[in-house]
Amino acid sequence: MKKEQQIGKTKWICISEPDKTVIDTISKKYHLHEMIIEDILDINAQSKIDTSNDHFFVAMTFTKYLTAEHRYTFNEMDVIIGENLIITTTGLESTKMNDIFEKMKKETKEIDDSYKTSPYYILYKIIDGFYDKTLKSLAVSSQKLLDIQMNINKREENVIDDLINEDLNKIFVKHNFLSQEEIMDELIHHIQKFHEKHLATYYNDLKSKLSKITRTINALMEKNDSLLSAYNTFIGIKSNKSITRLTFINSIFMPLTLIAGIGGMSERSMMTWPENRKWTYPLFIVLCWGIAYITYLILHKYFMKK
Burial class (CB in 10 A: 0-12, 13-18, 19+), 75: buried
Phi and psi for 85 in degrees, rounded to 5?
A: -150, 140
- Can you give the residue ranges of every domain in the chain? 2-236, 238-305
pLDDT of residue 206: 92
β-strand partners of 4? 13
pTM value surpassing 0.75: no
Question: Who contacts 154 (Cβ-Cβ below 8 Å, separation ≥6)?
Answer: none
**Pick from 160, 304, 183: nearest CA to 244:** 304
199-215: burial string, b at 16+ Cβ within 10 Å, e else: bbebbeebeebbeebbe
**Pick from 55, 63, 230, 29: nearest CA to 136:** 63
Q: Is 284 in contact with 263 (CB distance < 8 Å)?
A: yes
pLDDT of residue 195: 62
CA distance 73 to 61: 10
| CATH superfamily ID and name for 2-236 | CorA soluble domain-like (3.30.460.20)
State the distance between the two ends of the chain, measured CA to CA, in whole angstroms: 69
Q: At CB < 8 A and 24+ separation, what contacts does 155-164 make?
A: 155/234, 159/231, 160/231, 163/224, 163/227, 163/228, 163/231
Q: Is 191 in contact with 127 (CB distance < 8 Å)?
A: no
Residues in the chain: 306
Report how far Cα 158 is from the mean position of its chain's Cα atoms. 16
Q: Is 147 in contact with 158 (CB distance < 8 Å)?
A: no
pLDDT tens by residue, the chain, 306 residues: 788 888 888 899 999 888 888 888 888 888 888 888 888 887 665 678 887 777 888 888 888 877 777 788 888 888 999 888 999 988 888 888 889 888 887 776 666 666 778 888 899 999 999 999 989 888 888 888 888 888 776 666 677 788 888 888 888 888 888 888 888 888 888 887 766 677 888 989 999 999 999 999 999 888 888 888 877 777 776 776 667 667 766 766 666 676 666 656 554 555 555 555 566 667 767 777 777 777 777 766 765 555
